């Protein structure tokens, strides 16, 4: 049996961890591609590109067509996505119950999604009051896997790395936690391949967020 860590802070990734946003992201990416004269991509493919921020998402999508129109695509995408980011986006099963279960701990969001879009989603899903701090991909100079955002959260709350855990579906989340020295937990129901999450060697690996309640003291 692994040691059950006692943590005072849980830092969550957003897309693919707390929320299933893939349909809205896919529709916005494909609308952007259509505006630029390219055919749509499969949702399963776009899902693999989620997690490192808007620019990498569009870069990888455009690379399928040998295009470098990233700045033009970004402008189109952000306008479209902001208008439709809650059309289909929902919490993954059990997420609301897990957040409420840990409500006496500090909860934070560390995502590579732009801050304004993150706040709009958290508010629209009625979970924004549960989080002590929300850090978006444009809140600081660097995004995950740079540890700066995580360290900022720790410093703001006066919490040591080993008193915190990061939970996410992408290897960048695990890498971020390891660079800080916190506990790490990978989830396998998100957008990254399960093998990629395993290969990042998180301290814990769970197939539902509800299982987090059996890990953390």
Instruction: Clarify whether 8 is annotated catalytic.
Output: no
Question: How far is residue 206's CA from residue 11's CA, in Å, rounded to a whole number?
Answer: 15
Half-sphere exposure of 12 (CA within 13 A, CB side): 29
In angstroms, what CA-CA distances link 84 with 124, 160, 192?
12, 38, 23
Q: What is the pTM of this model?
A: 0.95
Fold of the 9-20+90-214 domain = Rossmann fold (3.40.50)
- For the domain made up of 22-84, the CATH class stated in words is mainly alpha
Selecting among 8, 13, 24, 196, the annotated active-site residue is 13
- What sign for the dihedral angle of Cα 59, 171, 141, 128? positive
For the chain, the average pLDDT equals 96
Both structure tokens of 173: 């989340």
Structure confidence by residue, pLDDT tens digits, 47-72: 999 999 999 999 999 999 999 999 99
Question: How far is residue 29's CA from residue 205's CA, in Å, rounded to a whole number?
Answer: 30
User: To which residue do tokens 């493919």 refer?
Assistant: 45
Question: In the chain, what are the domain boundaries?
Answer: 9-20+90-214, 22-84
Structure confidence by residue, pLDDT tens digits, 93-117: 999 999 999 999 999 999 999 999 9
Q: Binning pLDDT at 50, 70 and 90, where does residue 1 land?
A: low
Cα torsion through 183, 143, 125, 46, rounded to 10? -100
């Amino acid at each position: 049996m692994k040691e059950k860590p006692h943590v005072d802070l849980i830092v969550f990734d957003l897309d693919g961890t707390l929320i299933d946003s893939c349909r809205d992201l896919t529709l916005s990416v494909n609308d952007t591609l259509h505006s630029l004269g390219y055919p749509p991509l499969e949702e399963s493919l776009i899902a693999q590109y989620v997690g490192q921020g808007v620019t990498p998402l569009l870069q990888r999508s455009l690379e399928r067509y040998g295009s470098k129109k990233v700045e033009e695509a970004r402008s189109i995408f952000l306008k479209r996505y902001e208008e439709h980011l809650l059309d289909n986006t929902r919490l993954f099963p059990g997420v609301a119950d897990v957040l409420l279960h840990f409500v006496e701990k500090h909860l934070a969001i560390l995502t590579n999604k732009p801050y304004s879009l993150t706040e709009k989603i958290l508010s629209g899903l009625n979970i924004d009051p549960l989080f002590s701090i929300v850090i978006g991909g444009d809140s600081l100079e660097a995004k995950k896997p740079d540890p700066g955002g995580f360290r900022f959260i720790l410093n703001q709350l006066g919490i040591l790395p080993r008193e915190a855990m990061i939970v996410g579906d992408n290897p960048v989340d695990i890498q971020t936690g390891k660079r800080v020295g916190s506990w790490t937990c990978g989830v396998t129901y998100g957008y990254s391949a399960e093998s990629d999450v395993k290969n990042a060697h998180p301290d814990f690996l769970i197939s539902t967020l509800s299982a987090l309640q059996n890990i953390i003291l």
